Structure 1
Amino acid sequence: MKSQTHNQKDEIWLLLDSRDVGGIETHILQLAQGLKQFQQSVRVIFLCKYEQTHPLTISLNNANISYRFLDGTLRELLDYTRHHCPSVIHSHGYKAAIYSRLLRLSLLTSHQKIRFINTFHAGEVGKGKLALYDIIDRWSARFSHHNFAVSELISQRVPSQTTVLNNFIDTTNLKPSTGELIAFVGRLSHEKAPDRFIELAKKHPNHSFHIYGSGPMEKELIKHLPNNVIFHGHQDSMDTIWNDIGLLIICSRYEGLPMTALEAMGRGIPVISTPVGNISKLIQPEMNGWITEPEALSQALLHWFELSSINKVEIQHAAQRTIQDQFSSNAVIPQILKVYEV
């Protein structure tokens, strides 16, 4: 656990329940770094510490961002909050959102003035316990002071008022990629549709396809990998790998606004994506990338292969400009700070 010596009463807490790194965790890292750039004191609060070392802590340490693991109970969250009294608690994910709202209700009679903010990330409807958490999360949204959503579709599923907010990344030190690899980057789960990526690879046996990530579909996918698909497994950080990638394929069935798309485009890596979530706000077809139905992914890839070097460079530059102008920390963090300070 990283420590801090300044007054924690001015801190912004980013609250989550997490075992691994995915879209939410990447978003939180970017948010924490962005807030720090704007001279805000920030701490990441994990509701529970699971068996393995959380890979996000590596990035947090590298960015010199403080974090704390709790024991998973509402009681410890309440005690820790009463003791340190942050100015804002910004929750991410089902469990963190529900806990934060229960925390707000528990503090109604106290003199602590805390802004409770939440971001809705999930585009898919889960099953079993996840479906229950999803229902409670959406219908208890009114107990947050403000709710963000990362796509219009996600916003429409929440009965309370939400603000659709662009996902964002820090573009300060990003260098353009010089790589040429065709890649899938993300969790190997049904909503991300890595199976579609493998089917795409089968249609282009003369090209190599690369998968970076792990997840519940991993073992089954590995059994049926064609010879031209290289599986790289879980990555604690993609920072050094992005430079090898020349084209990102997003095959998802459900999404908000994929952080991997921002990470890629911010480095001048064009994206071919299925029409999910708010991807249409990010990609202008033929200008900075492509949006296509799943059955037309192969045709879009062929189009990329046939482009001239000059056209490819134009699209790469356009992708970078899009992120810088609309999806960077400099563009989005001021909008979030306004909500924090109301």
Structure 2
Amino acid sequence: MKILYVITGADIGGAQNHLLYLSDWFSKKGHDVHVVLGEEGPLQQALAEQNIAATVIPIPRTIKLAKDLKALWHVFLFIKKGNYDIVHSHSSKAGIIARLAGFLNHTSKNIYTAHGFVFTDPTLSSKKKNLYLSLEKLFSSISTNIITVSNYDYQQGKTYGIKEQKMSVIHNGIPEQAITSHSDWQKKQLRLRDTDKKVIGFVGRFVSEKNLDMLLRLASRFNGQKVEFWLIGNGPLYDHYQTEIVKRNLQAIVQLKGHQDNVLEWMDNMHAMVITSHKEGLPYVLLEACGRGLPVISTDVGGVKEVVDPYGTRDILVDINDDEAMYRKLVSLVSDDSAREEMGKVLLERAGAFTVEQMCLETNEVYLFK
């Protein structure tokens, strides 16, 4: 098969990791894989290291009609020249441009993966929500398939009128080698019990949907306790939160670690991880934390529940911006090693159900389905 992946952003985030895993897997299976990026960035280098061809065709992240039409024309020509069997787009803007270009080229498979439908964002105004919903319904009509990374988004799509027959759920997956062995996990627990301070970690992009204001409010409640918050990642709001930490006098408890390549090693030195997002699809950092047996306290967003509490019996999720509930759950973890280790063990066992191999096999079934 000739497969073209299209994505807007070339930074490293959940959608980019997902695309990287797909590209590598299908390339190694002998398929002709090419990636179109909407901008230059670290994803280019990651693809090059895996010997996957990539081309940059500028796609603006926000609506800019003249530039959008230019991007559409160039992606249309690229698809036409490459004669691809499959055009598979990721992220909202690329999903619009690539699906329209694929449709105009009569591509056999014109697929879009929704890494969390934009219209599910609770912070959107009614006007913006209706705009994004209208766009998704319009472009879903010219898609051959729509993949959601969670049952939550599948149900949201179905509720808001996206054709159920076109949708399928394929959960994100992590490499099996990213899942620690039980014996290594046990050794880590002995080390974590002896640390002077308990570490609560955040890993992700510094963007509005991650709701880092909630995290800083939580950190302020721990001021004076033997707790540190490590914030790993980068993004457009990095400088803003750097300023906020100083403004709120949190320098002693909140440490900005910036971008780190060896995120799993950092996770192995955390006692708990926190997700404060108001919108998610299925966070890769959640799956990575599970793979390290790292307890997670999260807001109840997207597909998080499907991973950490599929039967609704564990009571480890909180409502968005419920600072008190999240604080209490974090305190119970960092003050009780047995409770922390029990949760970590359960999540480690869950990790085996979310692998790259499983994700790619299910994606292949969508590619081959007539």
Q: Same fold (TM over 0.5)?
A: yes
Question: Counterparts of 2:25 and 2:115 in 1: how far apart (Å)?
Answer: 18
| Deviation of 1:107 (Å) | 1.9
Residues 1:165 and 2:164 are matched in the alignment: no
Structure 1 match to 2:337:
308
Q: Which moved more, 1:97-106 or 1:271-280?
A: 97-106
Q: What are the ranges of 5 or more consecutive residues in structure 2 without an aligned counterpart?
A: 60-70, 193-197
Residues 1:332 and 2:359 are matched in the alignment: yes
Structure 1 residues 37, 299: closer, same or farther in 2, change over 3 A?
A: farther
Match of 2:110 among 95, 100, 116: 116
Residues 265-318 of structure 1: CA deviation (Å, up to 9, x unaligned)? 112222111111121110029998932233311111111123335x54443333
Percent identical = 25
Structure 1 residues 38, 242: closer, same or farther in 2, change over 3 A?
A: farther
| Deviation of 1:181 (Å) | 3.1
Question: Counterparts of 2:24 and 2:202 in 1: how far apart (Å)?
Answer: 25
Structure 1 match to 2:293:
268
Answer yes or no: is the 8 Å Cα contact 2:287–2:351 preserved in 1.
Answer: yes
The number of residue pairs the alignment matches comes to 323
Match of 1:224 among 236, 244, 247: 244
Letter in 1 for 2:332: H
SS at match of 2:268: helix
Letter in 2 for 1:213: G
Answer yes or no: is the 8 Å Cα contact 2:12–2:42 preserved in 1.
Answer: yes
Structure 1 residues 131, 101: closer, same or farther in 2, change over 3 A?
A: same
Match of 2:279 among 254, 263, 286: 254
Question: Counterparts of 1:331 and 1:244 in 2: how far apart (Å)?
Answer: 28
Write out the 4+ residue segments of structure 1 that deviate beyond 6 Å after TM superposition: 127-131, 285-289
Residues 1:299 and 2:299 are matched in the alignment: no
| Deviation of 1:243 (Å) | 3.5
Q: Which moved more, 1:154-163 or 1:142-151?
A: 154-163
Residues 118-161 of structure 1: CA deviation (Å, up to 9, x unaligned)? 11123426579897456323322021110012234433245322
SS at match of 2:282: coil
Residues 1-44 of structure 1: CA deviation (Å, up to 9, x unaligned)? xxxxxxxxx33222111153322212222332343465544332
RMSD value, Cα: 2.9
| Deviation of 1:241 (Å) | 3.4
Answer yes or no: is the 8 Å Cα contact 2:210–2:277 preserved in 1.
Answer: yes
Answer yes or no: is the 8 Å Cα contact 1:55–1:236 preserved in 2.
Answer: no
Letter in 2 for 1:252: S
SS at match of 2:316: strand
Structure 1 residues 83, 232: closer, same or farther in 2, change over 3 A?
A: same
Residues 242-277 of structure 1: CA deviation (Å, up to 9, x unaligned)? 333332100111212111101111122221111111
Question: Counterparts of 1:14 and 1:130 in 2: how far apart (Å)?
Answer: 27
Structure 1 residues 289, 129: closer, same or farther in 2, change over 3 A?
A: closer
